[in-house]
Amino acid sequence: MPDNRSSPPAPRLHAGIDIGGTKVAVCLARAGTPGDEAVENAPPAIFHRIAEPTVKTGAADALAQQVLQLLQRACAEQGVSVDALAGVGVSSCGPFVRRAGCIEVANPNICGALSGADGVAAPNDWTQVPLQAPLRDALGAARLRIANDAVAALAAERRWGALQGVTDCAYVTWSTGVGVGLCVDGRVLGGKNGNAGHAGHSFVGDVAGVAPACGCGNRGDVESLAGGGSLRDWLGVDAPTLLAAAQRGEPQALRQAQLLCRLMGRLLYNLVATLDLARISLGGSVFLHHQALLLPLLRRELAQHFAALTQGVEVVPAGLGAQVGDYAALALLDAAA
């Protein structure tokens, strides 16, 4: 007798794109099958990932073209057509600006013409680069979702990571730059251009009158003082070298690591005091590679401030770990994110 049972629906194919000041990564994943609750509640199954340094030369649309070329390459390597993708999520560093309603990126680590950089600027004359328009034209608007990387990571942490079930929370990335995603009363904050959470460009104070200038033009903001891309300019050492020495107990490096955590701790306190948060999830390469050193220092710093606001606030590593950037882009495509 013929078998009339219908075959289960095939898993949807999604692509996640993670754009940072240092690298661009593309991953391919099989999303949950509709109707299969166990699978729907698990993170998408990533089966392929490629990355390369972020392009910083050429025409202003070079970044968008790099994204499209990487996406084509990833699909070709797996024998998948780009047209077969059910969705493409893009998690990008910001800030964002809008031109004709479309997102463009105005990030000091990518755009060489932005004012205020003390170090070597990116080798271009860009002030902002198009992102949404060229991707929309190539992929179609229906399949494309774009958000700030920290906001997208917040969505991923709330869906599959350390912020599940928490209505008042933040995700903080401590990497080349410093970014934040915010959720209050169960609502993710966006802002007029999708820039809510750019607390890395908020001020935490001058340091002995020698605070360096951030690429955004601020002097004494969090990113200029604690961002991984800034440390060589004002402390004379890059983040991996400094923090590895601090973990070995070298006195000067340990004092500098404590200073960085004091500054980052001020940021965490400002977030808690302003938004009455219950939990903060921390990610990013600077933090995740050295969390055994940094997490206790950050917790101690936060706990030193106004107990009525900080008592009971949890500071935890990102539940998705080093993959939070990949899952961030994919979370934008998840209906329950």
Q: Is the pLDDT of residue 208 over 60?
A: no
Whole-prediction pTM value?
0.90
The highest-level CATH class for domain 13-148 is alpha beta
Question: Is pLDDT at 117 greater than 50 in this prediction?
Answer: no
Q: Which pair of structure tokens corresponds to residue 270?
A: 């400002």
pLDDT above 90 coverage of the chain, percent: 78
Q: In this predicted model, what pLDDT tens digit does every residue of 118-172 receive, in sequence order?
A: 555 789 999 999 999 999 999 999 889 999 999 999 999 999 999 999 999 999 9
CA distance 147 to 284: 17
Please state which of the ranges 35-39, 195-199, 290-294 shows the lowest mean pLDDT.
35-39
**Token pair 């219950």 is at which residue?**
278
Summarised one tens digit per residue, pLDDT across range 237-291 is 999 999 999 999 999 999 999 999 999 999 999 999 999 999 999 999 999 999 9
Answer yes or no: same fold for 13-148 and 162-319.
yes
**Cβ(333)–Cβ(14) below 8 Å:** yes
Candidates 3.40.50.300, 3.30.420.40, 3.40.50.720, 3.40.30.10; correct CATH number of 162-319? Answer: 3.30.420.40
The domain segmentation of the chain, as residue ranges, is 13-148, 162-319
CA dihedral (26, 28, 34, 36) in degrees, to 10, reads -120
Q: Tell me, what's the pLDDT at 337?
A: 41
Q: What is the average pLDDT across 304-315? A: 97
**Is the pLDDT at 98 greater than 80, yes or no?**
yes
Per-residue pLDDT band for 336 (boundaries 50, 70, 90) equals very low
Of residues 142 and 68, the one with the higher pLDDT is 68
Question: What integer pLDDT is reported at residue 215 of this predicted model?
Answer: 80
114 CB burial (10 A radius; 0-12, 13-18, 19+): buried
pLDDT tier at 116 (50, 70, 90 boundaries)?
low
pLDDT one-digit tens code per residue, 2-49: 555 554 455 789 999 999 988 999 999 998 655 555 455 688 999 999
Span 175-197, average pLDDT = 94
- pLDDT for 93 equals 93
Decide: residue 248, CB within 10 A, 0-12 exposed, 13-18 middle, 19+ buried.
exposed
In this prediction, residue 218 carries a pLDDT of 85
